[in-house]
């Protein structure tokens, strides 16, 4: 008697349901304003520490995010136990419907697919990190306020053997119409795939 792989597992339940259920019932939560204020204090302090060197600040935010991402992926996998994604389309769905939902309670839209389906954009409405923020005039052109998100995504994807580039394309804080970040797959790190995981 053979069963198809997906019949009774969480893979068959829609990702959206999984994400929402875990968000509602299975994670401890924190006050949004406290979170936004903490992150804001962090960025404001970086401004002071690095003496308004904006490219360095962007880089620092990215590397902080990277360190968070390599750890956060374990939490995500322990919580959801989702199987390996077959392609970037599936990966994008998991990221937007499950991952962002569980950790930030937002569901960004996935758009702007490239021709060979290896890069896409995430459009974030209502970014919880930048709730009350107004960038100072001199920083406006150069700082990506939520750059930590790019780092998180890059770190997390790297731990599941997807080497990706993640970067911001537009940000409401800068005056653009929407907040958009782009994810592009460079290559699958085949030799790092754990043995036994086909």
Partner 1 sequence: MAIESLLIINKSGGLLYQRNFIDKPPQSQAPNQPEPQQQLNSNDYLILASTLHGVFAIASQLTPKALQLSQNDIDYTIPYIPNVGMPTNGGRTGNGSTVGGGSGSSGPGSNKLGSFKGDDFFKDSFVSWNKSGLRQLCTDQFTMFIYQTMTGLKFVAISTTVMPQQKVATPSGTDKLDRYGNSSNLAIQIADNFLRKVYCLYSDYVMKDPFYSMEMPIKSDLFDKKVRAMIKNMNE
Partner 2 sequence: MPQYFAIIGTRDNPIYEAEFPSISGKNSIGFPRDLKELNPFILHAALDIIEDLQWQMNPNSGGVTTGGYFGTGGNSNSNSNLSVNNSNSSGVGFLRNRSNNNNNMENCYLGKVDHFYGLSITAYLTYGGMKFVMIHGTTGDLGGSAGGNISGDDVGGNASKSAVQIDDNALKLFYQEVHELYIKTLMNPFYRLNDPITTPAFDKRVRALARKHIVTSK
Residues at the contact surface with partner 1, assessed by CB under 8 A:
1-5, 8-11, 25-28, 70-75, 77-79, 81, 83-84, 159-160, 192, 194-198
Q: Which does 135 bind (CB under 5 to 8 A by kind): partner 1, partner 2, none?
A: partner 2
Between residues 93 and 131, which has the closer beta carbon with respect to partner 2?
A: 131
Nearer to partner 2, 34 or 195 (CB): 34
| Residue number, 22 or 139, with CB nearest to partner 2 | 139
Which lies closer to partner 2 via its Cβ, residue 166 or residue 173? Answer: 173
Minimum gap (Å) between residue 57 Cβ and partner 1 = 20
Task: Report the C-alpha gap between 111 and 121 in whole angstroms.
Answer: 5
Cβ 86 to partner 1 shortest distance, Å: 13
| Cα dihedral sign, 100-102-104-107 | positive
Instruction: Please list the residues that pair with 22 across neighbouring strands.
Output: none
Which tokens in the block code for residue 91?
């990966």
Nearest distance from C-beta of residue 90 to partner 1, angstroms: 14
> In this structure, what token pair is assigned to residue 115?
């021709």
Rg (CA), the chain: 18
**Distance in Å, CB of 44 to partner 1, minimum:** 20
Question: Which residues lie below 8 Å from residue 111, measured CB to CB, with a gap of 6+?
Answer: 120, 121, 123
DSSP state of 177: S
């Amino acid at each position: 008697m053979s069963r198809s792989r997906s019949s009774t597992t969480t893979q068959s339940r829609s990702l959206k349901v999984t994400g929402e259920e875990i968000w509602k019932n299975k994670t401890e939560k924190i006050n949004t304003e406290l979170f936004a204020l903490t992150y804001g204090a962090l960025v404001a302090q970086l401004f002071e520490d690095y003496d308004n060197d904006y490219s360095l600040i962007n880089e620092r935010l990215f590397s902080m995010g990277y360190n968070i991402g390599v750890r956060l992926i374990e939490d995500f996998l322990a919580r959801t136990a989702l199987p390996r994604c077959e392609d970037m389309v599936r990966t994008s769905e998991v990221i937007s419907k499950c991952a962002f939902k569980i950790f930030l309670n937002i569901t960004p839209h996935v758009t702007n697919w490239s021709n060979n389906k290896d890069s896409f954009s995430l459009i974030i409405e209502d970014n919880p990190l930048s709730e009350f923020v107004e960038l100072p005039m001199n920083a406006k052109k150069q700082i990506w306020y939520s750059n930590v998100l790019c780092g998180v995504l890059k770190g997390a994807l790297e731990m599941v053997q997807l080497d990706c580039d993640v970067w911001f394309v537009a940000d409401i804080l800068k005056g653009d119409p929407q907040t958009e970040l782009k994810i592009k797959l460079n290559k699958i790190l085949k030799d790092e795939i754990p043995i036994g995981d086909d």
